[in-house]
Amino acid sequence: MTITQWVLSGAALGAIYSLVAFGYAITWTTSRTMNFSQGQAVMLGAVLAWAALAVLRLPLPLAILAATLAMIPFGLLVERFAVRPFRRRGPTWLISTVALGILLENAALALFGKDVQPFPALVGERPIQVLGAGVYPQELLIPVAALALMGGFELLRQRTMVGRQMRAVAYDETTATLMGIPAERMVALGYVLASVIAAIGGVIVAPVTFVSATMGTVIGLKGFVVAIVGGLESGWGILLVGLLYGILEQAVSATIGTGARDAVGFGLAILVLALRPSGLLGRAALRRV
Neighbours of 10 (CB within 10 A): 23
* Domain covering 3-275: architecture: Orthogonal Bundle (1.10)
- What is the reported pTM? 0.90
285 by DSSP, 3-state: which? coil
Rounded distance between C-alpha atoms, residue 88 and residue 177, angstroms: 15
Pick from 48-57, 68-77, 268-277: least confident: 268-277
Mean pLDDT of the chain: 86
What pLDDT sits at residue 156? 82
- 149 Cβ contact list (under 8 Å, min separation 6): 19, 22, 197, 200
* Residue 282 in this model has a pLDDT that exceeds 70: no
Q: Model confidence at 234, in pLDDT bands (50, 70, 90)?
A: confident
Rounded distance between C-alpha atoms, residue 104 and residue 85, angstroms: 19
Give pLDDT tens digits for 5-64.
778 888 888 999 999 999 998 999 888 899 999 999 999 999 999 999 999 999 999 999
**Backbone angles phi and psi of 75, in degrees to 5:** -60, -40
Q: How far apart are the first and last CA of the chain?
A: 55
What pLDDT sits at residue 284? 57
Q: Model confidence at 287, in pLDDT bands (50, 70, 90)?
A: very low
| Centroid of chain to Cα 23 | 5
Higher-scoring residue by pLDDT: 68, 253: 68
Tell me 130's DSSP state.
E
User: Backbone dihedral region of 212: left (phi > 0), alpha (psi from -120 to 50 degrees) or beta?
Assistant: beta
Q: What is the mean pLDDT of residues 128-132?
A: 71
What pLDDT sits at residue 114? 84
Residue ranges per domain, the chain? 3-275
